[in-house]
Structure 1
Amino acid sequence: MSGSTTITDSGLYHDIKTFIKHESNASFIAGGVAGAVSRTVVSPFERAKILLQVQGPGSNHAYQGMFPTIFKMYREEGWRGLFRGNLLNCIRIFPYSAVQFAVFEKCKEIMLDQRPHNKHNLNVYERLMGGSLAGIVSVAVTYPLDLIRARITIQTASLSKLDRAKLTKPPTVLSTCKEVIKNEGGVLGLYKGITPTTLGVAPYVAINFALYEKCREYMDNSPFDFSNPMWKLSAGAFSSFVGGVLIYPLDVLRKRFQVASMAGGELGFQYSSVTQALIHMFKHEGFFGAYRGLTANLYKIVPSMAVSWLCYDTLKDVIHRW
């Protein structure tokens, strides 16, 4: 009996191991863990960025600068304020990051299989295409959690129009979800802002993934020694910096669309379309208005993606060696 049990257990272990080691599954698991770890590391910067972004013309600009904003959050809400919304962010980012990496790897696999002579590397355009599709699919899968997290992030903050109804207790995920569905058009309300989000995420992921893989390709084929993990961190930081700067105005719009209806729409911005929103933002707030919170965003995405890429590559290597 014991021998039979051992064989059964060994067979189950082998099946699980085979399943995990499959390229798409390994990318999914490694991508999810990497996303959750990296976002927790930069959670205070993430919340500070959102608070700076949603200070439109109707606010008193209670938050000025990234580090002063973090200190203000800590002073008013304690250490929990630094991580407000982070649990939900991790719950969201695990499938978001997992789907993103898995779809990107699958796209690469399909494109390589379609070639008459199967080369090992894709060109830049193919990587951009795969990254764009990965960004679109990941947004579609996790968007409602992103919207709810954005709402929770600012509801306890000192944005003047929201101070009138300052909450004595932080809102929960369930209560925020019910409020959106009840007051903002049903389930479709949970997808408010998905268009600018997709327009921003798709090119960002495309640029980030394509640049990082190009950097890795150079390091792998270089006669110099790039085995130190710091080089992977540097490659991830560089790729996320370039992508983040190029598409940042769309990231600002994404957050504003998500929270525009809060406090009766009194945050100071109401947009009818992405085009109208971009024109309005640049016209009334200028170039720097469109890039409000950029510094805080770079403090968040640069170390976040650097850690994410390092975790992803390391975990995939561990899984493949298992």
Structure 2
Amino acid sequence: MNSIVESPVYRSTKAIIKQESNSSFISGGVAGAVSRTVVSPFERAKILLQLQGPGSQHAYNGMFSTIFKMYADEGWRGLFRGNLLNCVRIFPYSAIQYSVFEKCKELLRRRDPGRTETYGSERLIAGSVGGIVSVALTYPLDLVRARITIQTASLKKLNKGKLADAPGVWRTLKHVYLHEGGIRGLYRGLYATTLGVAPYVAINFSLYEKMRDYMDQHKEVHDFSNPLWKLSAGALSSFVGGVLIYPLDVLRKRYQVASMAGGELGFQYKSVTHALVTIFTTEGFFGAYKGLTANLYKIVPSMAVSWFCYDTLKEAINKW
């Protein structure tokens, strides 16, 4: 056993695995931060559209009109409100997601010694695990970002029609911790978030890798060297995943801010099932898809850029 551990082949294999994990972590973090900054205005517009409850006079209507109103009310800073915190959150979130995804695939492949290919079901499992772990480790920052994102918005039930000063990160964390249940308050909506993120990451990651494998296997027949092919694959995979699980994304954001303004934003839910039934019955089918257009404007280019940055940077790190 000691001879195996000390062998050059073992040490070389271990070094490669370690380098692969490090490159996935770094590449994933950078890719997440870059991609989210690019689409920050769409991200905030999506959240504002999601949080307009039933029966309210909507201040925001449509994705581009929402972005214009954000700019008119708050200037260019309004377009990127919460983005710095989002980048602070998204770097470890994305880094953990990608690296756990790669590690899970590796562990699943080890069941069959010598096998190098990854099955579709294994990619779905790895993506789900990556989504769950990344959410669990970074969730309080996601909750705080959602709070900061809407604090200065024109939601009348939130601030009586007056634009509020943007709260700080620590101030928001302290308020939630002291007044909304301590640690449990910081993780309000975690279950609903996990229900949405896990299948989204699973679909997105597995579909993208399936398309990337196809391109790699057919290089001799078609020229897939143009970066637009990878950008298109990332865009399509995020589009499919985003549409399929979008109602759960609406639910996630509402859970995170439901207790703001004394619960007067228009929604209070007893459970995930109760929330979904309430949204569909009181706001109709399209109520569960509020902000979908803005979300697609966000996630499609975001994941296209993210996957392109991830693959390019990871390849460069591994070569270096």
Using structure 1 for the length normalisation, give the TM-score.
Answer: 0.92
Q: CA deviation at 1:169?
A: 2.3
Query: Does the CA-based 8 Å contact 1:19-1:25 persist in structure 2?
Result: no
Q: Which residue of 2 is the match for residue 47 of structure 1?
A: 44
Aligned with 2:58: secondary structure?
coil
Q: Which residue of 1 is the match for residue 278 of structure 2?
A: 280
From 309, 312, 315, the counterpart of 1:311: 309
Query: Is 1:144 the counterpart of 2:104 in the alignment?
Result: no
Task: Describe how 1:77-116 pairs up with structure 2 within 5 A.
Answer: 77-116=74-113
Tell me the distance in 2 between the aligned counterparts of 1:276 and 1:289. Answer: 15
Query: Does the CA-based 8 Å contact 1:132-1:206 persist in structure 2?
Result: yes
Count matched residues. Answer: 304
Q: CA deviation at 1:122?
A: 1.2
Query: Does the CA-based 8 Å contact 1:73-1:81 persist in structure 2?
Result: yes
From 241, 244, 255, the counterpart of 1:243: 241
Tell me the distance in 1 between the aligned counterparts of 2:50 and 2:42. Answer: 12
Change (3 A) 1:243 1:274: same
Tell me the distance in 2 between the aligned counterparts of 1:61 and 1:167. Answer: 15
Q: CA deviation at 1:160?
A: 1.1
Q: Which 4+ runs in 1 deviate beyond 3 A?
A: 18-21, 165-168
Q: Which residue of 1 is the match for residue 165 of structure 2?
A: 169
Q: CA deviation at 1:165?
A: 7.8
Tell me the distance in 1 between the aligned counterparts of 2:162 and 2:138. Answer: 28
Using structure 2 for the length normalisation, give the TM-score.
Answer: 0.93
Q: CA deviation at 1:20?
A: 11
Query: Is 1:209 the counterpart of 2:223 in the alignment?
Result: no
From 32, 35, 59, the counterpart of 2:56: 59
From 69, 72, 88, the counterpart of 2:69: 72
Stretches of structure 1 lacking an aligned partner (at least 5 in a row): 1-17
Give CA-to-partner distance per residue, 1:240-270, whole Å, 9 cap, x none. Answer: 0000000000000000000000001000000
Give CA-to-partner distance per residue, 1:122-161, whole Å, 9 cap, x none. Answer: 1111100000000000000100000000000000000110
Identity value in percent: 74
Aligned with 2:75: secondary structure?
helix
From 136, 148, 153, the counterpart of 2:149: 153
Give CA-to-partner distance per residue, 1:275-297, whole Å, 9 cap, x none. Answer: 01011111111110000100000
Tell me the distance in 1 between the aligned counterparts of 2:278 and 2:158. Answer: 23
Query: Does the CA-based 8 Å contact 1:100-1:138 persist in structure 2?
Result: yes
Equivalent AA in structure 1 for residue 20 of structure 2: E
Q: CA deviation at 1:167?
A: 5.3
Query: Does the CA-based 8 Å contact 1:31-1:100 persist in structure 2?
Result: yes
Query: Is 1:132 the counterpart of 2:135 in the alignment?
Result: no
Tell me the distance in 2 between the aligned counterparts of 1:167 and 1:283. Answer: 31
Equivalent AA in structure 1 for residue 103 of structure 2: K
Tell me the distance in 2 between the aligned counterparts of 1:65 and 1:44. Answer: 13
Query: Does the CA-based 8 Å contact 1:240-1:305 persist in structure 2?
Result: yes
Stretches of structure 2 lacking an aligned partner (at least 5 in a row): 1-14
